[in-house]
Amino acid sequence: MPHSKQARKRMRQSEERRVQNKTARTRMKRAIKRAETPAGSDGAAALAEAMKRIDKAAKSHAIHANAAARLKSRMARAAARAAK
């Protein structure tokens, strides 16, 4: 347990950030799975939504910027292969 006032505040802040980051990562993963699922009728819209969620997660530092770029690149390549 934290002993100082500053440590209590840092604990409170880190818990709030943890919850926000988890929400962003969960929304991102859900959007990616929707985009990858062939059952979706509108693949282009699902892909755009997934890209948007990845960008938002990276912007809020829930994931690293390079990880976001890697995910987006892989999704774009997969979509291009599926379109052929």
Query: Quick one: pLDDT at residue 40?
Result: 56
Rounded Cα distance, 69 and 29, in Å: 15
Query: Quick one: pLDDT at residue 84?
Result: 82
Q: Which domains does the chain have, with CATH numbers?
A: 5-83 (1.20.58.110)
Rounded Cα distance, 29 and 25, in Å: 6
Rounded Cα distance, 48 and 55, in Å: 11
Residue range 9-36, pLDDT digits in tens? 999 999 999 999 999 999 999 999 999 8
Can you give the pTM of this predicted structure?
A: 0.86
Residue range 22-72, pLDDT digits in tens? 999 999 999 999 998 876 568 889 999 999 999 999 999 999 999 999 999
Angle at 44 between CA 25 and CA 27, to 5 degrees: 15
Phi/psi class of residue 61: alpha, beta or left (left: φ > 0; alpha: ψ in -120 to 50)?
left
